[in-house]
Structure 1
């Protein structure tokens, strides 16, 4: 109730003190019903988090209470199998007891490289019961990026699926001290590692008292994010962070215990593995897991498992719209939640598939500045009432639109953006409040780079999202772009420096820069590499083979621009902005441009026909 009164007083103060009173009357008329609904849900959410913190709860302790409440309820559907809450609890206890006997200690890290399945959750959840942190590794990673992720998380052991045995064998020479455990998926391989499935069959399902020692601020997971620069970073996910992210979505979307959630997203990402799975572990919701997303089976699965809610990312929605328009499949999905659904296809998606509510949300895995759109306003990633900044301190500040660097005035302070003016999105850091905490990364240097100091006054700290957003007069935020050296493609973050390093290693050319370019009708940005080949020694086929061997497919540049020379900055860096501005437009580019033909598995010259087909959407990428 106090939070309602505070906001109402703030709104009245704004109304009485501003010169544009009539406009503010209109704004309050349009937004107060929305704001009170959000504040009510936000208050209930904060009460839940406060109780969990004060009772020293962890994800495992919350789950234990759900097991007592409904032990035989289905926790996970997976293909034709089910796993009850009791069975999931017992499986995770087997994992905990086994690795405790193996000598793992609280605070140590184990890397997990496994495809989606219920056991995936059971493994990291079981490790959490003995205080061991699990690093969730992207299953697309190979070679140096994989080595980097394992080392960055300081993992002492690796649990990997037998389907990834060849990938693991390739990196073992660089990971000599790593303990290996092979989880047999389709069939056991000759690759090294203890057969974890067999060992767990012999392990005890007894409750572990050691679990009682851990609290909400203890580390639970490392989830990798590229942030805005450099190689993937191990974002620290504490118990309270996991609980807060999962509970926030639960309260703001009003999911119920009898809902069934369809989660076809990768479990190594925060959306699928934390927000989605968290609905089961913390709120008792049955979750459907799929090994890999399938556009043709999405609605069939939802109907088969009687799902009432589903998760998405923007790219997923585009794939669903691209499926043939046959007889509509009857389903019971009333709400969908996710991020990246573009305003251009929003109404078309809702109309075609009959989804009543879209909950678009925004937030970085590691960030403290999160938003959610609770009233299905087309294109909005969320909102914050313009008079409620003190309650939820997030804002947009003026920045260099190329680099994303905040612009400071003569006093060294930042400036809040005006309505309709794009700026970088930041959130105030307050270690005393769960919703405003920033736990950072395993790498302390990387953590420091994401923190802005002395933003509005001496000593204040803000998390820098690195994203450009814009806010309208009603308080809605809209995503514009990412800054720095990262772009998003195929639902994944691509670190440009990682791709640049691979190009340099493969073809031994020092001048190469990678950036994202927009292709009409697609979500995110496709990768493009500009390479300086003054001596004309570049072998496109050799480069293609090297890139495919070293990078996941989503990181592979779709376009190559081969240049004789390139404009440099005063510090001898390639002028990426100018290159990005040209895109792959062969009508303005005089250099040779190549397009990656997925069917041929190689780069081909970008002809006028291919270019026009890409622009018109006749060629899919």
Structure 2
């Protein structure tokens, strides 16, 4: 008997040696089956994340739910405070299905607002607190919101668009005791007077898991930001994702990413599902990151690639490993940054994943393979069919064979990720934008009549089945952890009197994630480049991450036969003045101007002496 057991053990060890990722594959399949069963059960009873929140409140009302600044809010306190916000919304005349736009930096109040809306069956539209003017008005209008709730520190941004909002009879509420703007009311005063008693469940009885829950904005691949619809089913699915990565009920998750991002919001959803705790910072800060983690006794963090790079670039300290962080969940980390992060800050299990707010396919790298965003699984591909197909980047179009069907790429070759649309894998689209919604649907991909979701992302797979992110396609690039829509930036720049036309694209900067913004421009006839005026326009109309760091003045812009701007050659040219004869300029915040991009300036940017 003993020999049999020893022999079996040896066989198992040989099996594991031959298939080193078997246990990870087994765990992945188990987790996916568990999620599928959980969602199926929820679908039968329309059990939403707010129902889970209320159940957790009953089970552990005194457990900390949110740490923010120097305050701690228990689940029971969160229940009462969100009841108050719900009643303020009801007093404002909202009913089931109505939309409220939330315009605020991270705070505990942001969560009470969202929970309050969920309790009365309303939808929260999460506005990016960096946007201004035209973009802010656009994002609000496409949501169809009847109410705008804004933080006190964003009052000036609201005042810019207030006349337009008032013309549309929009109610504007400020998270402050006092309001200086005419027609703006204090949400805080109304909340102080509202009851904290529980609300009747029938207030959301008509909702199903297919009903919209929140709108999260994404720039996608073209144009102004679009409001992606997250159904209650999608939101519950998001709450389960981190659990499959190893999150536990005793975890304290530190969130410094903006809650309007799904990357951060998913952390809150996972905490509710587990009944665990989150610690929130209003805005990411390198100098406060580790002190905050120690202060709240955080055991895990959520990140984007830029987060870890900023931390690695900060001055070294004797306290670098003096923390209790054991897990990190996120995406977008370069392999060299990943290695440096582990080397400097200790034994932290980094779990990289790939996904998109509106996407229907995701990958998780539970194997710890540095650089990978996940690993292929035959089971997952069967349950959720996807493929990596050939895409002509220069022509910005799919590569099809003689029969008119798409072609899958070989191992090691970057391909466009497409995911099959089925009754189980549903793309909810964008609010009020049927054209953009339809543009994400690809038809006749592998056979006549099929439909696939276009992720807009290029990925590749190695010989071991690990999946790696390569780049985005279309008219979007990623900088400072944000997707930058080039059309929006070009439109803003063209508002300057001296610019006739602008072609915006991203260029690689050594030592930085993503691509920095650069604009090739053509000046109006007989006009010189007004650098100061352009600086003022981009400063006032664009968030920091979307402002072009470099400008290239050309006599004309290259376009395709259908008059689309050519970007590939410009991207390859980069911003090196020794290789470009056109006049180049650099965004200098100290000088408050676009200054000539000399070789000295170029060298300083490349070496990191000038921070970008």
Query: What range is the shorter-chain TM-score in?
Result: over 0.9
Whether the 8 Å CA contact 2:173–2:187 is kept in 1: the answer is yes
Q: Helix, strand or coil: the match of 1:510?
A: strand
1:374 correspondence with 2:366 = yes
Match of 1:217 in 2: 210
TM-score where L is the length of structure 2: 0.93
Superposed CA deviations along residues 229-269 of structure 1, whole A, max 9, x for unmatched, are 1110000011111110121122x212111111001110111
SS in structure 1 of the partner of residue 491 of structure 2: helix
Cα–Cα, structure 1 residues 216 and 572, in superposed 2: closer, same or farther, change >3 Å? Answer: closer
Of 310, 325, 330, which aligns to 2:316?
325
Aligned residue number for residue 454 of structure 2: 464
**Structural mapping, 1:192-341, within 5 Å:** 192-205=183-196, 206-209=198-201, 210-250=203-243, 252-273=244-265, 275-329=266-320, 330-341=322-333
Q: Distance in 2 between matches of 1:570 and 1:393?
A: 35
| Residues 1:420 and 1:88: Cα distance change in structure 2 (over 3 Å) | same
Aligned to 2:3: none
Q: Alpha-carbon deviation of 1:92?
A: 1.4
In the alignment, which residue of structure 1 is the partner of 2:551?
560
Comparing 139-148 with 91-100, greater Cα deviation is found at: 91-100
Could you tell me how far 1:617 is from its partner in structure 2? 2.4
Q: Which moved more, 1:46-55 or 1:300-309?
A: 46-55
5+ long unaligned stretches in structure 1 = 1-24
Deviations 1:530-565 (A, max 9, x none): 011253432111111111111111111000001123
1:394 matches 2:383? no
Structure 1 match to 2:46: 56
- Find the counterpart in structure 2 of residue 8 from structure 1: none
Q: Distance in 2 between matches of 1:336 and 1:415?
A: 36
Tell me if the contact between 2:29 and 2:379 (Cα under 8 Å) persists in the aligned partners.
no
Query: In the comparison of the two structures, how many residue pairs are matched?
Result: 592
* TM-superposition CA deviations, 1:139-161 (whole Å, max 9, x none): 01110000100011111111111
Whether 2:29 is the aligned partner of 1:46: answer no
Tell me, in whole angstroms, the C-alpha distance in 2 between the residues paired with 1:481 and 1:65: 42
C-alpha deviation, 1:366, in angstroms: 0.5
Match 1:150 to one of 130, 140, 160:
140
Aligned ranges for residues 134-149 of structure 1 at < 5 Å?
Answer: 134-149=124-139
- 1:255-284: per-residue Cα shift (whole Å, max 9, x none)? 1111110011101111112x1111222221
For each residue in 1:341-395, what CA deviation from the matched residue of structure 2 results, as whole angstroms up to 9, or x when unmatched? 1112111111111143111111111100111111211100111125752133222
2:8 alignment counterpart:
none
In the aligned structure 2, how far is the partner of 1:439 from the partner of 1:560?
Answer: 38
Cα distance, 1:407 vs structure 2: 1.3
> 3-state SS of the aligned residue for 2:318?
coil
Equivalent residue, structure 2, for 1:167 = 157
TM-score (norm. length: structure 1): 0.92
CA contact under 8 A between 1:27 and 1:473: conserved in structure 2? Answer: no
TM superposition shift of 1:504: 1.1
Contact 1:235 1:366 (8 Å CA) reproduced: yes
The yes-or-no answer on 1:82 pairing with 2:72 is yes
Show the counterpart of 2:337. 345
The answer as to whether partners of 2:241 and 2:270 remain within 8 angstroms in 1 is no
- How far residue 338 of structure 1 moved from its aligned partner, in angstroms, is 0.6
**1:182–1:193 contact (8 Å) kept in structure 2:** yes
Q: Is the 8 A contact 1:253 1:374 kept in 2?
A: yes
Find the aligned partners of 1:201 and 1:59 in 2 and give their Cα distance.
26
Note if contact 1:179-1:193 (Cα within 8 Å) is conserved in structure 2: no
2:513 corresponds to: 523
Conserved? CA contact 2:604–2:610, under 8 Å: yes
Shift of 1:296: 1.1
1:37 is aligned to: 27
Which residue, 569, 584, 609 being the options, matches 2:600?
609
Please say if 1:127 is aligned against 2:117. yes
- Distance (whole Å) between structure 2 residues aligned to residue 573 and residue 218 of structure 1: 37
| Alignment match, 2:11 | none
Residues 1:412 and 2:404 are matched in the alignment: yes
Q: CA deviation at 1:511?
A: 2.5
Corresponding residue number in structure 2 for 1:496: 486
584-593 or 200-209: bigger deviation: 200-209
* Number of the residue aligned with 2:471: 481
Structure 1 residue 515: deviation in Å? Answer: 0.2
Change (3 A) 1:569 1:444: closer
